[in-house]
A and B are shown apart, each in its own frame.
Chain A
């Protein structure tokens, strides 16, 4: 009898420990939000929110500093836009090919190799963008500067192909076979089936995949920090050097920033902007993924 109670206590204790571990993830999120808000609040005490959101110059290190976030946001959106132009079409085509066309054997080989694309360290991609792709592109686009948004954008696009393709493919694979068979029975080709039946049926999953890809591109740091230059630049011209939110944070961190200075707080202001951009996309992606399960 005694043994039973002691083992019961042990069971409860273990459950408690496991619960605490599970709650740690909540704690992590709360600390992210708390620290970003706390430090950013310090920043906004000295810089009005209005100036931050509408200013067109970001020169925090100058003698007369300007704190307009727009150049960093435009840099982020420009590189992300280029990456998305590469990754979304290619990722979707790859997903359709692997899900509907490719023989089993090709799929078994292609999927792990594609996943390797996402496993290559981003600093290696940065090297590749700066020292391989940019010189090649300069042969075709003479106006391209040594640091530019185009080359890291393209490389980032290739890098996020597997994120887009694997989630899209999973959701296409989840479309029941009888829906495909119904389409084939009316005489549709694989192409017609894929684009008129499978893609609309798997829409939620594909949308989620796109959102995940975009969110990755916004948060990507090293490729742009290496190959895009470190110049806040309010432009949508891809041949110019730019700076993204992430690259700014890295740039400041590389120097020795004294704790508590306004400069130290700027990286949190940039960070909170980034956090909200990706949070919005993550919630959107989560909402789309929830819908997948509701369809069938």
Chain B
């Protein structure tokens, strides 16, 4: 700053004035950028909402007129107005049962081992790195694994069992991660109190750790299953059929022992594959069917996600350490 001495001192005043103005200008400029970013940030966050909203509106506009009881209770057909999703939603339900049966026990056991038993050594480290890596493997690679392993090596065929196991492997990392996180949240004092009463490690886990972390585990399981419901690629790869006009054999029979597992080995289709099949046809009428199937599929995943959020909220509220 150049300072010129003036008898009255006015010049210095003017200099300062200039600097003050400059500072004020900069502050205003910075504040403006700050506010501008506030707006840009809000708008960017809204992009996601807008897309989600448009997508739902678009699906409903196209598919809602097709939704009816007969759409839910009909098999796919060459005639778009007669086609329905019966075999698809039954297939999805059965596949999800297998997926849950495969992923949940294995995932919880892995999570419990990693949190409660494993020592901090290199083998644990490898399991952890591996788990993170598995979570990042594209779903279609799981499809290729299942094609080689389940379909051809174990000869399980292109069956419900294969489909369910494939998706089970896919969501395993999610179940493990949520199990670990909810176990981590339990304070050590709980474990110490249990040991102090003479409980063994397994008794502590069975009677304390698992019951207290069940909320988080359930949440992870439901979110994993909701992801699995929408998965298409790996199921196509293992060879689910796109056109199925029959149901798998019923799991309940009239003769003793009333339960059979024959359905595990039946061919199947699932909701997203049915939708994919309809989208890929050139006729507009089939696109409407695809939209209707999309509505049901979207509702399934949104309801499951909503339920998971509710569970998380409820359990977080109930437990106070």
Contact = CB atoms under 8 A, between A and B. Distances in A.
B138 A18 contact: no
B55 A226 contact: no
A250 B231 CA distance: 13
Interface in B262-321: 272, 275-276, 279-280, 287, 290-291, 294, 297-298, 301-302, 305, 309
Contacts of B31: 189
A14 B290 CA distance: 48
Nearest to A98: B45
A101 B41 contact: yes
Interface string A158-182: 1001100000000000000000000
B271 to A, nearest CB: 8
B37 A123 contact: no
Interface string B17-38: 0000000000000110110011
Interface residues of A, number: 87
Interface stretch (A57-65, A234-242, A275-283): A275-283
Contacts of A115: 305
Contact of B279 (A35, A119, A123): A123
Contact of A222 (B49, B52, B233): B233
Nearest to A252: B237
Contacts of B136: 212, 215, 278, 281-282, 285
A169 B91 CA distance: 38
A126 interface: yes
A121 B230 contact: yes
A128 B55 contact: yes
Contact of B33 (A31, A158, A191): A191
Contact of B227 (A32, A119, A190): A119
Given A28-B134, A28-B169, A117-B48, A254 B242 contact: yes
Interface stretch (B7-15, B124-132, B187-195, B246-254): B124-132
A113 B49 CA distance: 7
B127 A128 contact: no
Max chain A C-beta neighbours (<10 A), residue from B62, B132, B276, B305: B276
B161 interface: no
A116 B137 contact: no
Max chain B C-beta neighbours (<10 A), residue from A93, A94, A127, A220: A127
Contacts of B186: none
Contact of B201 (A11, A117, A124): A11
Main SS class of interface, B: helix
A112 B219 CA distance: 14
A219 B138 CA distance: 5
Contacts of A132: 54-55, 58
Contacts of B231: 121
A286 to B, nearest CB: 6
Contact of B297 (A31, A121, A253): A121
Contacts of B261: none
Contact of B237 (A39, A120, A127, A253): A253
B259 interface: no
Interface stretch (B68-76, B77-85, B111-119, B209-217): B111-119
Interface of B: 30-31, 33-34, 37-38, 40-42, 44-45, 47-49, 51-52, 54-55, 58-59, 62, 105-106, 109-110, 112-114, 117-118, 126-127, 129-134, 136-145, 147-149, 152-153, 169, 172-173, 176, 200-202, 223, 226-227, 229-233, 236-237, 239, 242, 272, 275-276, 279-280, 287, 290-291, 294, 297-298, 301-302, 305, 309
9 contacts: A7-B200, A15-B202, A18-B112, A22-B110, A26-B127, A119-B223, A123-B272, A219-B139, A249-B143
Given A25-B130, A35-B153, A286-B129, 14 more contacts: A17-B109, A25-B176, A26-B130, A114-B45, A116-B302, A119-B223, A121-B272, A122-B232, A127-B291, A212-B136, A253-B237, A254-B236, A259-B152, A281-B136
Interface of A: 7, 10-11, 14-15, 17-19, 21-26, 28-29, 31-32, 35-36, 38-39, 90, 93-94, 96-98, 101-102, 110, 112-117, 119-128, 130-132, 155, 158, 161-162, 189-192, 194, 212, 215, 218-222, 225-226, 246, 249-250, 253-254, 256, 259, 267-268, 271, 274-275, 278-279, 281-283, 285-286
